[in-house]
Amino acid sequence: MLAAFSTETSDAVRKTLEFVRHHRLAKGDRLPSERDLSERFGVTRGSVREALAVLDAMRITERKPKSGIYLRNALEDSGLDALVLQADLGLPFDAQVTRDVTEARILCEEQAFRLACQRRTDADLAKLHQLLDTYAALVANGSNLADEDVAFHLAVVAASQNRVLVRTLTPLMLMSTGWRRRYFASAEIRQRSLIDHRAFVAAIAARDEATATMLVHRHVQTAAEDVRALAEQGAADRTD
Partner DNA sequence: CCTACCAATCTGGTAGGACCAGTTAAGCGA
Partner DNA sequence: TCGCTTAACTGGTCCTACCAGATTGGTAGG
Residues interacting with DNA, by CB under 7 A?
Answer: 5-9, 31-36, 42-47, 49, 52, 63-69
**69 part of the interface to a copy of itself, by CB under 8 A:** no
| Using rule CB under 8 A, residue 96 touches a copy of itself | yes
Q: How far apart are CA 166 and CA 173, in angstroms?
A: 10
Distance of alpha carbon 144 from alpha carbon 146, whole angstroms: 6
What CA–CA distances, in Å, run from 74 to 65, 126, 165, 227? 21, 44, 25, 28
CA distance 35 to 87: 27
CB of 24 to DNA, least distance (A): 19
When the beta carbons of 12 and 138 are compared against DNA, the nearer one is 12
Which residues inside 170-189 make contact with a copy of itself, applying CB under 8 A? 170-172, 174
Binds 145, which of a copy of itself, DNA, none (CB < 5 to 8 A, cut-off by type)?
none
- Out of 19, 32, 33, 53, name the contact with a copy of itself by CB under 8 A: 53
Name which position in 19, 25, 32, 72 contacts a copy of itself (CB under 8 A). 72
Distance of CA 236 to the CA centre of its chain: 25
* Size of the residue set binding a copy of itself (CB under 8 A): 49
* CA-angle at 15, arms to 11 and 17, nearest 5°: 120
DSSP state of 93: P
DSSP-assigned states of every residue in 35-87: HHHHHHHTS-HHHHHHHHHHHHHTTSEEEETTTEEEE-S-GGGS-HHHHHHHH
Choose among DNA, a copy of itself, none what residue 51 binds, the Cβ cut-off being 5 to 8 Å by kind: a copy of itself
Residues contributing to the site for a copy of itself (CB under 8 A): 4-6, 9, 46, 49-51, 53-54, 56-59, 61-63, 65, 72, 76-85, 96-97, 100-101, 103-104, 107-108, 111, 162-168, 170-172, 174
